[in-house]
């Protein structure tokens, strides 16, 4: 089979490798689609694999069809189609025992620590890593991972029916968060500094503003009957945007930090004081929840896709083959190719 493998920092190749054979509880999945995550670019060109393993098949946002199972797995799964949960928890550390698998202290991970989804086939450790779909498109299912992260951010911001939510960052993850906010019954405003991103968000039916053209807090007051937002999602990683989030939420409001930090973050004294005076809850977001309680966000996301309540494929702007991936990743890195959401099929 073909697999996109990282041989070292900056050394990414499409290799011919043997198709793995499932053993025990393992499942062999024929990959239907695998999304390019923002983290894949620094992994390939700056950071390398997370544990020093080379060569490594990258890719963690993927879907597929079960084509073979190990001797201890249920062979009735053969032919099932679904999304892949890439995190492999140790299940013995304190976070795992509490069901917080994303905070596992000794985790493994498909696509960054062991072979992942930019390949024709991928081996899953068990059925638990496969979320079966009852009819969603495989390209849509490849976006389950970012959709779950976006859902988790909305939950961490305590969004509920009737909330007014401002989301900074109108890229695919921001639009996914906005779609979840609507499903939860909230009103949404997206904010970005890119005219293209603002236009894309408006094309998808959302209110969106350019933060260099208007004062965001004033705009929220104007649109929300003189009240600030109940919740803000920081989806850019820029320290200055955290300050904007704090300015934009009401007393006892909530901020969810979704974007990976981009440089040092410093909080001006005025903003620090505002956090205290308004008693704002600032919540971190790390991955998503696969535990059954209070909500298995992965199973819920796939159900929402199956029902048609959550649409994802319209966010895909670029589709590549495995053979095209080395060049595509390089072009995305150097800015000669601009994508909203890209996948490999």
* pLDDT tens profile 171-181: 999 999 999 99
User: pLDDT tens digits for 49-99?
Assistant: 999 999 999 999 999 999 999 999 999 999 999 999 999 999 999 999 999
Together in a domain, 16 and 135: yes
Together in a domain, 188 and 132: no
**Long-range contact set of residues 214-223: C-beta below 8 Å, sequence gap at least 24:** 216/166, 216/191, 216/244, 216/247, 216/248, 217/244, 217/247, 217/248, 219/189, 220/164, 220/166, 220/189, 220/248, 223/189
- Closest C-alpha to 31, from 109, 114, 130: 130
Together in a domain, 330 and 212: no
Residue 290 in any domain: the answer is no
pLDDT at 262: 80
* Tokens representing residue 156 in the block: 């961490």
Residue 247 in any domain: the answer is yes
Predicted structure pTM score? 0.95
Together in a domain, 71 and 156: no
pLDDT band of 275, cuts 50, 70, 90: very high
Residue 291 in any domain: the answer is no
Please determine, for residue 265, whether its predicted confidence score (pLDDT) is greater than 90: no
Instruction: Give the Cβ contact number of residue 254 at 10 Å.
Output: 22
Average pLDDT for residues 204-225, to the nearest whole number?
Answer: 96
Residue 57 in any domain: the answer is yes
Residue 132 in any domain: the answer is yes
pLDDT at 67: 98
Among 264, 284, 304, the domain boundary falls at 284
User: pLDDT tens digits for 1-27?
Assistant: 999 999 999 999 999 999 999 999 999
SS (H, E, C) 271-297: HHHHHHHHCCEEEECCCCCCCCCCCCH
Residue 293 in any domain: the answer is no
pLDDT at 260: 87
Together in a domain, 20 and 122: yes
User: C-alpha distances in angstroms, 144 versus 19, 154, 257, 304, 338?
Assistant: 25, 15, 20, 10, 22
User: C-alpha distances in angstroms, 119 versus 2, 22, 68?
Assistant: 6, 16, 16
Together in a domain, 133 and 6: yes
Together in a domain, 137 and 161: no
Q: Which CATH number goes with the domain that contains 39?
A: 3.90.180.10
Which helix (H) or strand (E) segment holds residue 243: the answer is helix 239-248
With a CB cutoff of 8 Å and minimum separation 6, the contacts of 281 are 158, 252, 253, 254, 255
Alpha-carbon gap, residue 171 to 155, rounded angstroms: 19
- Tally the C-alpha atoms within 13 A of residue 49's C-alpha that lie toward its C-beta: 24
Helices (H), 89-238: 94-97, 138-141, 144-156, 172-183, 195-203, 216-223
Residue 292 in any domain: the answer is no
Please determine, for residue 137, whether its predicted confidence score (pLDDT) is greater than 80: yes
pLDDT at 266: 83
Together in a domain, 207 and 254: yes
Together in a domain, 100 and 170: no
Residue 106 in any domain: the answer is yes
Q: Which CATH number goes with the domain that contains 258?
A: 3.40.50.720
Contact at 8 Å (CB) between 302 and 276? no
Q: Could you tell me what percentage of the chain is helix, strand and coil, using 3-state DSSP and rounding each to the nearest 5?
A: 35, 25, 40
pLDDT at 308: 96
Quote the number of domains for the chain. 2
Please determine, for residue 42, whether its predicted confidence score (pLDDT) is greater than 90: yes
Distance of CA 318 to the CA centre of its chain: 17
What residue has token string 């960052």?
169
Together in a domain, 190 and 120: no
pLDDT at 151: 98
Together in a domain, 212 and 272: yes
Together in a domain, 159 and 176: yes
Alpha-carbon gap, residue 37 to 61, rounded angstroms: 7
Which helix (H) or strand (E) segment holds residue 270: the answer is helix 269-278
* Boundaries of domain holding 337: 2-143+312-344
281-284 and 249-257 strand pairing: parallel
């Amino acid at each position: 089979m073909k697999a996109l493998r990282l041989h070292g920092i900056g050394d990414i190749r499409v290799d011919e490798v043997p198709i793995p054979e499932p053993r025990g509880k393992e499942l062999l999945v024929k990959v239907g689609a695998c999304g390019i995550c923002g983290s894949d670019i620094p992994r390939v060109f700056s950071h390398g694999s997370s544990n020093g393993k080379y060569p490594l098949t990258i890719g963690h946002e993927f879907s597929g069809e079960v084509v073979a199972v190990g001797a201890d797995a249920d062979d009735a799964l053969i032919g099932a189609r679904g999304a892949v949960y890439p995190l492999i928890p140790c299940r013995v550390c304190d976070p795992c025992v509490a069901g917080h698998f994303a905070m596992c202290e000794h985790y493994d991970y498909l696509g960054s620590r062991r072979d992942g989804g930019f390949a024709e086939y991928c081996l899953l450790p068990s059925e638990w890593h496969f979320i079966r779909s009852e009819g969603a498109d495989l390209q849509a299912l490849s976006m389950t991972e970012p959709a779950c992260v976006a859902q988790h951010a909305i939950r961490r911001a305590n969004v509920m029916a009737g909330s007014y939510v401002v989301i900074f960052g109108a890229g695919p993850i921001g639009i996914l968060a906005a779609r979840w906010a609507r499903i939860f019954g909230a009103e949404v405003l997206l904010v970005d500094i890119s005219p293209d991103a603002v236009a894309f968000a408006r094309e998808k039916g959302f209110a969106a503003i350019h933060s260099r053209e208007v004062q965001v807090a004033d705009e929220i007051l104007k649109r929300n009957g003189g009240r600030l937002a109940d919740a803000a999602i920081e989806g850019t990683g820029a320290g200055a945007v955290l300050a904007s989030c704090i300015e934009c939420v009401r007393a006892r409001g909530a901020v969810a930090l979704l974007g990976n930090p981009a440089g040092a973050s410093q909080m001006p004294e005025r903003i620090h004081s505002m956090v205290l005076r308004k008693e704002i809850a600032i919540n971190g977001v790390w991955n998503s929840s696969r535990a059954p309680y209070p909500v298995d966000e992965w199973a819920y996301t796939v159900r929402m896709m199956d029902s048609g309540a959550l649409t994802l494929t319209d966010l895909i702007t670029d589709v590549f083959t495995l053979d095209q991936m080395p060049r595509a990743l390089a072009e995305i890195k150097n800015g000669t190719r601009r994508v909203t959401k890209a996948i490999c099929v």
